[in-house]
Structure formats: structure tokens, C-alpha cells
Amino acid sequence: MTAAFPTSQAIVIGGGLAGMTSANTILEFGGRVVVLDKSSFCGGNSSKATSGINGSETRTQKTKGIKDSNDLFLSDTLSGGAKKPEIAKVLVWESGPAVDWLMDKFNLDLSLVARLGGHSAERTHRGKERFPGMTITYALIQMVEKISENSGGTMSRIVTKARATQLIVDKKTVIGVEYVKGGQTLREFGPVIMCSGGFGADFTSDSLLSKYRPDLMHLPTSNGEHCTGDGIKMGEDVGANSLDLEWVQVHPTGLVKVDDPDAKVKFLAAEALRGVGGLLLDAEGNRFANELGRRDYVTGEMWKNKAPFRLCLNKAASDEIIWHCKHYTGRGVMKYYESGEALAKDMGVPVEKLAAAHQQHYEASKKQEADPEGGKWDAYPGGKSHDEPSGKTGVGKKFYHNVITGAQFAKEPFYVAIITPAIHYCMGGLETTKDGECMRNGKALPGLYVAGEAAGGVHGNNRLGGNSLLDCVVFGRVAGRHCAKYAFGEDGKFRPYPIEKRDRDVSQVIIQ
């Protein structure tokens, strides 16, 4: 067996956002690409993402007058859980160009910006309608499909129902992949970008979840059934390093469907629902946490308090994210209440108690506005907080949005969901370099790249909301660029045709 390099073809395993970003990047650089996905259609978990994609110093932020910087975003990401500054810096510094690339190259609407938990500025971008993950991912899928159609399949191909089983290695270099489709074992040759996702839906006895986090096996999951860690295992089989596999994020707001409360797979409430002002209440109507704290923190506080828990959006908050609210209501996982009185009655809690909780929250917001650093409690991600319920947990609230008084509560309409913690995201995976390369014994493993949830080392022990789609786009582009450089050879003479000046200019962000 001989490695055929330089080559013009790259192989992408996984058809979610990371995979489709990698594929589009390979195509931008003049390469050919084949995308393999074991499902009957592409999209993966990326198409379920509901809050948006983070970006600092973006065109949208500048248009809206939002003060943000790469340095501030990097600080938030490191405080949020990331442990490798050199990797986090790529994620952050590439975020603005990534968001602008999506808008420019794919004509996507990312004109709305919200603040999610753990962020010091509004930087999570979404459009006016539909879920951003679906909108972004499908736009990239359609571009690969369009190029395939226009080129007669010579430049790009998407192969579904194709289950990758092992990487092909020659002289310690990955040169292709073997996969099964329709009962046949087939092969593709070229460098491989692993974009196959995590393992948050594999509850079998020999799963990575069972091995590394058996304590979570009883929980529901937000992941599709395809999330079984295949790519991570294939990488390990050829010597690629993995890391942080024990770090599995449990999201606090899995949506409970009242007529099927024990469903193993849960639809997820967008973190943006809290970003626009949604409050969390326990069974007795108490606020118990900073709604904009880290996901692991909010989940931990839920386990200390009494279920069922509710996520409550007043009129101003729900109006700001009304498409989501109506969609959730239509799916039976959120309920509209004409008044706070009706909500209190349904909860079996005195309306006065819920009004008092909203009044306390309102007063804390006003004190924070008047005296930002004079609060009694430590705030997250820094400073001081005037909010007692969250302050007592050590993670005081300092950012407020769409706040109402206690006097408004009884007559105020609400959208409300019952929520429960659910397995959501695997921070661990195949160790990545800042160039998207997989690692083996401390060095880059030739011919193997990784992006998205299959990668380890990007988020550390906790991922901030909005950094998942960002990870897919940033490291999909990074891996795509470096895979193209590797495939074409250092001088690039094997590139089938010249790339546009605009794309060549963009590539200078990483490739000098």
C-alpha cells in the first residue's frame, strides 16, 4: 500500500457543521472533497443548536454599538473552563472572521446578538427566524450539494448511510478510510478530517460514556442516536491521543414533555431563553441560581434544590425570542400562561410569593445599575452582585435584561417550560493542535485532522453556550486549510485551479 500524496481529495467523516465547514473550506482552496455520514441525512447535532454562534469584534456587534473584544472573549472562555490558552486563542481570534464568513459566503442572517451564561458581552449571534444551528448548517450543506451538482460530482460528493469503520494507515500516515454502505465495504483515499461528534447518546455497556462517566448513564440526553464516539475510537485505534473524555457537559435545561416526562431523548431549551431574561424557579417558586452562570454550575444548583424546575419568560423576554417560544409551545414542551396568576395556580404556589421573587430580582437589577461594584456577594464572571439568591451560591448575578417588578407579575403573560438536566456535550475527544491536527505521542499525526465535538482540548472541563457552533466553524476552517495545504504539498502546485484572491486573503489568518 502506498500513500498517494500530494493529492487533491480530502475525506470528511461527519456531515454536521464542522464537517460541512471543513468541506466548504477544502473546496474554497480548490480541492476535492467527499463527506461520509452514517445517518440517512446530514446535519447532526449542529442542526439542533438553538442559541447561536459566538463572535467577538464582529460586523454585527460594531453595527449595534456592542462593546466587545477578543481579549475579553478569551478571558471569558478561559474562566468558563478552557485549559489550553493557545487553542482558546485560535477559537476567539478566528470568531469574528468566522461569523462574517457565514454572512458573506452563505448570505446568512446573523443580525441578532444576545448574552449567554458566562459571557461579559452580548456576542451570541442568531437570525430573526428559525434555530440558528439548522439555518447555518443547512446553508453549508446546500453549498456542497450545489458544487457537487455543478461539477457532476467531480469536486464534491456527499455519501450518506456510510458508516466509517477504520482509518487506513501506511507507514504511520493516515491515507484514507474504510466504510460500510449497503452491506458493502468500500474505501476512499486522502487525508481525513474527523468531524463525527461526541458520544453523548451511547448508553451501551462498552460505550465511552459508560467507561468515563458511568454516573451519568441514568440521565436523559439531548443528543441524536448517531452520537456514539465512533470517530474518537477510530482515531485511538491508529494511535491518536485523546483527552478530557471524562468531561461531559450536563445541560440544565432539557425540556420535559408533560405527557412523556421520562423520554430518554430531550429537546433542549436554548440558553438564549435565559439570555433574554428568563428566570429559573424551583418547585416552591424560589430563584436558586444565577441564570447566566456556567452550565455545570446551574445544573449543580438544580441538584441541590427541589424539582420540578421551571424556566419562565415574561412578555418582553419572550417577545425578543418569540419564534423559539412558539416553536417549543407547538412541540408541547412549553406552555403559554395569560397571567402570572394562572402560572402561580398551576404551580400551586401563592401568587404573592412569585411576585416577591420578581420584585427582589428587580431591586437587585436597579442596585446593580446604580452601584455595579457595591454588592454584598461575589459576582460571575467577576465583580460584585446585589442579587441574594444567586449571591448565596457564590456566583452572583450582575447582568439583567427584560426585568419586571413584583407589581407587574400577577397580570403579566408568561411562556414557561419545565426543565431537567440532560447530557449535552462531550468536551473531550481527539487531542487537537492549534492547526486542527490530531496528535500522536506529542507530535502531529500525518494525514489526520479533527474539528467539532470529536476534538478534545478546546473547551476544557466546561463549554460556554454559543461556543459549540463556533468551534465547528473555526476549527472546521482551520482543519480544512491545513488539510488542503498538506494534500496539495507545500508549494501548492497540485491545486486543481487557482483560488479566488478573497479566499486567499482569508487564508492568511492561519496559513502564512
**Residues that are catalytic:** 251, 274
Cα 480 from Cα 435, distance rounded (Å): 9
Omega of the bond leading into 381 within 30 degrees of 0 (cis)? yes
Q: Are 461 and 246 in contact (CB under 8 A)?
A: no
163 with 225: CB under 8 angstroms? no
Q: How many angstroms separate the Cα of 380 from the Cα of each of 78, 123, 304, 466?
A: 13, 17, 19, 18
Interhelix angle 95-106/85-93, rounded to 10 degrees, is 30
CB 445 within 8 A of CB 430: no
Contact at 8 Å (CB) between 449 and 235?
A: no
Please report which helix (H) or strand (E) contains residue 163, including its range.
strand 163-170
What distances in angstroms separate CA 289 from CA 77, 96, 270, 390, one per listed residue? 20, 31, 17, 5
How far CA 267 is from CA of 42, 251, 254, 361, in Å, comes to 19, 11, 6, 28
Block residue for cell numbers 445599575: 369
CB 485 within 8 A of CB 444: no
Rounded distance, CA 19 to CA 107, Å? Answer: 19
Alpha helices of 151-264 — where are they, by DSSP H? 208-212, 230-237
Nearby residues of 465 by Cβ (< 8 Å), 6 or more positions away: 51, 116, 117, 118, 119, 124, 271, 272, 275, 295
Instruction: Please count the residues of the chain.
Output: 512
